[in-house]
Amino acid sequence: MEECGLCYQFMKEVISLSQKIIAYLSANMTTYLQAVQTHLMISIQALWIAVMIGIPLGIFCSRNEKFSKYVTGWFNSLRIIPSLAILVLMIPLMGTGKTPALVALTILAVPPILINTIAGFAGIEASLYETAKGMGMDEKQIFLKIEWPLALPLMLTGVRTSAVEVSASATIAAYIGAGGLGNIVFTGLGLNKAELLLIGGVSVAAISIGAELILGTVQNAVTKYQRD
Amino acid sequence: MTAVAVEFKNVCKHFPEAEVNAVSHVSLKINQGEFITILGTSGSGKTTLMKMVNRLHDITSGDIFFFGENINSLPVVEYRRKIGYVVQQGGLFPHMTVAENIAVVPHILKWDKEKIDARVDELLEMVGLKKELYKDRYPRQLSGGQQQRIGIARAMASDPAVMLMDEPFGAIDAITRENLQDELLRIQKALHKTILFVTHDISEAFKLGDRVIVMHEGKVQQFDTPDRIMLHPANDFVAKFVSADDVMKKLQVLKVHTIMDGLSIKTSNQLAVAHVDDTLETLLKLFMTSSTQTVLVKDDKDKIVGEVSWHRLSAIAS
Ligand SMILES: Nc1ncnc2c1ncn2[C@@H]1O[C@H](COP(=O)(O)OP(=O)(O)O)[C@@H](O)[C@H]1O
Ligand SMILES: [Mg+2]
């Protein structure tokens, strides 16, 4: 009897929660979509800037061993700092708002891209490079036709890791004024409203999974040659 | 008179911090159309000698000439495109299909698409691989032997006059290697490429080479035909290295034409016939199975050009 009572109670909760979700969404659709858009925008911006920094820097490091040790050491230690800490540390440095949030997210997104780019280029067999040279390719051709495509799979792994990291951390970035789905989550926490936590959390998860899927498909396409 | 394809003039290579020269005072001339093998133990300087030809290594002192021109006076990238280069394991680019690999040099030479396609098909046929089956495969979907064939096809794509091959069959099983050697010989005979072929395998060097460069400690010990190296080794090192006093080795290496005499008897179709390029080992088997005192010798065109007596063959052993 008691078990059934619990069951019944649970079902009732689920139904009431669903109703609240539907109610919230129908009343605040614009706010919700705005939040999704803001969340996506800041994530994509941070990822894009991190790619623009991480890949060139990674390529440079892969050609310069001494510099590489220094940079990877630095970025690896950066990785140990929790994302929340980096976000909070931004406040005394840059205050709150979109820009410090973007800077913090970019800082979070660079290390995986950088480190995988270095690994991707450094991992190319020296003999391939020499064969390309021996056949009469110039430096530019070797880079574009041999090194870039061979390093691309690992670079994409880095971008994938960063994409997941950034889209999740963007939620916390609302804490320092980034806006986005984090706002809904934090409001839910403040007002003790489970439906807001659910809407926010599921949406963030969906964005992360979506990013994984898209980048995974791209990666599959460029690693076709590694499979039978 | 045939042209000199590659000439070394007192060439030395010294790597920074090395105690001795990797290549020391090498002077020799390689004629156009010759198949030259470079033979020596590991570390004797074979690869270094070869890589100076396509300028992957700078020359420390001396000069190398390519059809009469000092290679250091030529624009390096364009110069390398005139030389085919094959390395161990083929050095195929793993992210490119077979067709794309073969097309690398034609592509950088900006040939048009039809010409490249036709050339790829032609080369696949030349190295004995069906284009429908192999064109779109990636290197990892090929066996070692097939990869080597593609490596050779790729090196020949722009029809270079000179080919450099660094132990191309080194990592391949014995039977496949024999096949590849035979095919390379066939291709070389048909196209008259000048080939420099590095190997540490004595049989391979003697089978393939019109002339063999024997190297040791960076120095050329002897540069001559396989027969002359076997019969007249220049020094103790060469004699020992090629086992010149080993009768079986001699039989395996020496060709019938080295001991052939002019025709003295009337040809009769009862006599066994050997080919001028057969080894003495093959000839010996022929003597043993046909139990004659004399074997006739024919050339490429099946014309009888000489004879070998049992007496003559057995003299090799002494
Ligand atoms: N890039 C290099 N830097 C320094 N020493 C080298 C280099 N390449 C080859 N050597 C040295 O030069 C000598 C000849 O090497 P190599 O030409 O590769 O020999 P082989 O091809 O006959 O095995 C060896 O002692 C080797 O250690
Ligand atoms: Mg070598």
Shortest Cα–Cα distance, B138 to chain A (Å): 6
B86 within 8 A of A135, measured Cβ to Cβ:
no
State the closest ligand 1 atom to the C-alpha of B57, by its place in the atom list counted from 1.
1
* B262 inside 8 A of chain A by CB: no
| A189-211 mean pLDDT | 92
Residues in contact with B195: Cβ distance below 8 Å, sequence separation at least 6, in sequence order: B34, B35, B36, B162, B163, B165, B184, B188
A159 within 8 A of A110, measured Cβ to Cβ:
no
Q: Which of B222, B245, B268 is the last residue before a domain boundary?
A: B245
Question: Which amino acid is it at A114?
Answer: L
Looking at the CA of B39, which ligand is closest? 1
Residues in contact with A222: Cβ distance below 8 Å, sequence separation at least 6, in sequence order: A149, A152, A153, A156
Both B185 and B307 in one domain: the answer is no
* A128 inside 8 A of chain B by CB: yes
Both B121 and B64 in one domain: the answer is yes
DSSP state string for B186-204: HHHHHH--EEEEEES-HHH
B87/A132 CB distance under 8 A: no
The model's pTM is: 0.86
Both B198 and B299 in one domain: the answer is no
pLDDT at B269: 65
CA of B255 to the centre of ligand 2 (A): 28
Structure tokens at B161: 């006059």
Start-to-end CA span in chain B (Å): 38
Helix intervals (H) in chain A: 2-62, 65-80, 83-94, 98-122, 126-134, 139-141, 148-173, 181-191, 194-222
pLDDT at B170: 87
Both B125 and B261 in one domain: the answer is no
What does residue B224 show for φ and ψ, rounded to 5 degrees? Answer: -160, 180
Q: Confirm or reject: Cβ of B15 under 6 Å from ligand 1.
A: yes
Q: Find, in chain A, the residue whose alpha carbon is nearest to that of B75.
A: A136
CA of A89 to the centre of ligand 2 (A): 56
pLDDT digits 0-9 by tens, B157-192: 999 999 999 999 988 888 889 999 999 999 998 999
B36 within 8 A of B210, measured Cβ to Cβ:
yes
Choose the closest CB to B81 out of A136, A225, A228.
A136
State the closest ligand 1 atom to the C-alpha of B40, by its place in the atom list counted from 1.
22
- ipTM here: 0.85
Q: Find, in chain A, the residue whose alpha carbon is nearest to that of B92.
A: A128
A129 within 8 A of A192, measured Cβ to Cβ:
no
* B111 inside 8 A of chain A by CB: no
Local structure of B36: helix, strand or coil: strand
| Percentage of chain A exceeding pLDDT 70 | 98
Number of A–B residue contacts, CB under 8 Å: 61
- Separation CA B52–CA B64 (nearest Å): 8
CA of B45 to the centre of ligand 2 (A): 7
List the single best residue of A121, A135, A146, A228 to mutate versus B (max B Cβ within 10 A): A135
Lowest mean pLDDT among A74-88, A145-159, B51-65, B222-236: A74-88
Helix intervals (H) in chain B: 46-53, 76-80, 98-102, 104-108, 113-126, 131-134, 144-155, 174-191, 202-208, 226-231, 236-241, 247-253, 280-290, 310-315
Give Cα A190 to chain centroid, integer Å.
26
Both B130 and B222 in one domain: the answer is yes
Both B225 and B95 in one domain: the answer is yes
Chain B residues with CB-CB distance to A123 below 8 A: none
A134/B54 CB distance under 8 A: yes
Number of domains in chain B: 2
Structure tokens at B153: 């096809």
pLDDT level of residue A88 (50, 70, 90 thresholds): confident
Angle between the N-to-C axes of helices A2-62 and A148-173, in degrees from 0 to 180, rounded to the nearest 10 = 130
Lowest mean pLDDT among A21-35, A131-145, B32-46: A21-35
Shortest Cα–Cα distance, B157 to chain A (Å): 11
Low-confidence stretches of chain B (pLDDT beneath 70): 1, 267-269, 318
pLDDT at B268: 67
Both B71 and B143 in one domain: the answer is yes
CATH number, domain with residue B98:
3.40.50.300
Measured CA to CA in angstroms, residue B94 lies from A145, A151, A226, B164, B256 at distances of 12, 12, 8, 21, 44
HSE (side-chain half, CA atoms, 13 Å) at B180: 25
CA of B23 to the centre of ligand 2 (A): 12
Chain A residues with CB-CB distance to B80 below 8 A: 133-136
Q: Which of B245, B262, B292 is the last residue before a domain boundary?
A: B245
Local structure of A73: helix, strand or coil: helix
- Separation CA A193–CA B69 (nearest Å): 84
List the single best residue of A131, A146, A147 to mutate versus B (max B Cβ within 10 A): A131
pLDDT at A77: 81
- How many other C-beta atoms are found inside a 10 Å radius of the C-beta of residue B281? 15
pLDDT at A150: 95
Structure tokens at B2: 């045939």
Both B141 and B213 in one domain: the answer is yes
pLDDT digits 0-9 by tens, B261-305: 888 877 666 788 999 888 999 999 999 898 888 899 998 888 889
CATH number, domain with residue B258:
3.10.580.10
Residues in contact with B258: Cβ distance below 8 Å, sequence separation at least 6, in sequence order: B227, B231
Q: Find, in chain B, the residue whose alpha carbon is nearest to that of A141.
A: B108
DSSP assigned state of B71: G
Residue span of the structural domain in which B230 resides: 4-245
Both B184 and B241 in one domain: the answer is yes
A127/B94 CB distance under 8 A: no
pLDDT level of residue A173 (50, 70, 90 thresholds): confident
Measured CA to CA in angstroms, residue B208 lies from A23, A216, A223, B132 at distances of 85, 50, 39, 31
Q: Which of B207, B222, B245 is the last residue before a domain boundary?
A: B245
* B57 inside 8 A of chain A by CB: no
Question: Which amino acid is it at B303?
Answer: K
The angle formed by the CA atoms of residues A163, A66 and A130, to the nearest 5 degrees, is: 85
Q: Confirm or reject: Cβ of B207 under 6 Å from ligand 1.
A: no
Both B133 and B228 in one domain: the answer is yes
Q: Confirm or reject: Cβ of B18 under 6 Å from ligand 1.
A: yes
Question: Which amino acid is it at B288?
Answer: M
Residue to mutate, B17, B48, B196, ligand 1, most ligand atoms under 8 Å from C-beta = B48
pLDDT at A1: 56
Q: Is the dihedral of CA B185, B191, B192, B197 positive or negative?
A: negative
Looking at the CA of B43, which ligand is closest? 1
DSSP assigned state of A144: I
pLDDT at A178: 85
Q: Find, in chain B, the residue whose alpha carbon is nearest to that of A148.
A: B95
Both B114 and B190 in one domain: the answer is yes
A225/B81 CB distance under 8 A: no
Residue to mutate, B38, B47, B201, B215, ligand 1, most ligand atoms under 8 Å from C-beta = B47
- Separation CA B162–CA A50 (nearest Å): 47
Both B28 and B171 in one domain: the answer is yes
Fold of the domain spanning A35-220: MetI-like fold (1.10.3720)
The residue whose C-alpha atom lies closest to atom 14 belonging to ligand 1 is: B45
Residue A204 has pLDDT above 80, yes or no: yes
